[in-house]
Amino acid sequence: MIIHGDSIEKLRELEPNSIEALVTDPPYGLGDTSPKAVAECLNAWLSGSTHNAKGSGFMGKAWDKWVPDPALWREVYRVLRPGAHGLVFSGSRTEDLMSISLRLSGFEVRDRLVWLYSPRFPKSLEIGKAIDDSLGVERQIIGKQKLGGSARKRADGKSHGCAQAGQNVERSQTIINITAATSDRAILFDDWHTNLKPSYEPIILIRKPLIGTVADNVIKHSTGALNVGSCRIGSDYKYNHRIGRHPSNVMIDHSVRKLLKNKSRFYYCDKASTAEREAGLESNEQRKNIHPTVKPIDLMRYLCRLITPPAGTVLDPFAGSGTTLCAAALEGFNVLGVERELEYVRIAEARLAHWSGGAYEPSTPTDTKPTIKAGDQLSLF
């Protein structure tokens, strides 16, 4: 089931202590995280007020200007059963704020899981080029290169990556110039950058406090423990199947697995392919998954399986294009998602109908007109 509306308002309509698990990929709050802005936020939260952040975040979107407020997580806390676990994705530079928001709502922070992967390009400003541009100095063209596919899309003249160390890539249709620093100052700071290459996402493992012992809580509510048996590395994921390694709090993709040269120690999952992102959207109006932060279904299946008891319900108050819901349905769990943007609701409904084999059919269309355009689709990394 997918509910269209504001998360905090829709959560208030749900029964307390009624849901067994939370798996969600909320806004990371990639806006103004200056010391002043953080201090204002913490002062508001500690006084019991809502923090009204200014500006925008990822892709210039207002919904990403700050991490979700404790008021939102308090509603999540209310609807979860005692002992219920949650897995909450966060940004590498704002996971501290996400964690504090969760703690202030009443949750225990139990662990951090890490999904390691290897994107193709870092998002970073190359300082040598910036200095030459600032001084109005023309860069030296030292070669040309033909790009194709995703590499062509990323070579936008802002130096997301370099063809070789110390060389900047600039776009000219499909043929790009390889340039080198010209001014003395640019040469001195050639191949200096503003950011590291992102290669992991933190996932905060939380739990609503138990009532009594863990055993007491599991007997009464079915929640409070992790399903290690179905998540052992190398097992066939059957309940109580004890073959395989105890799962760790690190998960990897193909490139990292090759570096580690060990295929059986960590859970393995690559990033979502285009085919996976858009399966089920053939009859959708846009026929594309325009959501900017789509996680792989296999990763979300693993996370749902880890914390959700048999026949339990998985809640995602930031459903987006529905990946968590599709994953939960594939694992045989009940699903409940809330999403504010109607465009994403329609995409999520179509994807959920596809991956659930028709068990979850789309709702009756509304007259609300879409506002998000397909051109808004960008890669998070």
pLDDT band at 205 (very low <50, low <70, confident <90, very high): very high
Pairing between β-strand 200-207 and β-strand 108-116 as defined by DSSP bridges: antiparallel
> How many CB atoms neighbour CB 282 within 10 A?
9
* C-alpha–C-alpha distance, residues 343 and 327, integer Å: 20
Average pLDDT over residues 103-109: 97
Identify the residue with better confidence: 209 or 236: 209
Tens of pLDDT, residue by residue over 150-184, are 443 443 333 333 333 344 444 445 688 888 989 99
DSSP 156: S
Packed helices 323-330 and 342-355: angle between N→C axes, nearest 10 degrees: 20
pLDDT of residue 146: 77
Q: Is the pLDDT of residue 98 over 70?
A: yes
Of 7-21, 122-136, 156-170, highest mean pLDDT: 7-21
- Sheet architecture: strand order including 2-4: 2-4, 334-339, 313-316, 19-24, 80-89, 200-207, 108-116, 250-252, 267-268
pLDDT band at 358 (very low <50, low <70, confident <90, very high): confident
Please state, for a pLDDT cut of 90, what percent of the chain lies above it. Answer: 45
* Mean pLDDT taken over the chain: 80
Q: Is the pLDDT of residue 279 over 70?
A: no
Q: Is the pLDDT of residue 198 over 90?
A: no
Distances (CA, A) of 125 to 78, 104, 190: 43, 36, 11
> How many CB atoms neighbour CB 16 within 10 A?
11
Identify the residue with better confidence: 253 or 28: 28
pLDDT of residue 318: 94
- Work out the burial of residue 211: count CB atoms within 10 Å of its CB; fewer than 13 is exposed, 13-18 middle, 19 or more buried: middle
Cβ proximity of 252 and 266 under 8 Å: yes
Lowest mean pLDDT, pick from 165-169, 214-218, 232-236: 165-169
Identify the residue with better confidence: 30 or 152: 30
Q: Is the pLDDT of residue 280 over 70?
A: no
Tens of pLDDT, residue by residue over 322-332, are 899 999 999 99
pLDDT of residue 74: 97
Identify the residue with better confidence: 81 or 253: 81
pLDDT of residue 270: 64
* C-alpha–C-alpha distance, residues 98 and 67, integer Å: 6
Distances (CA, A) of 98 to 3, 25, 41, 242: 24, 11, 12, 34
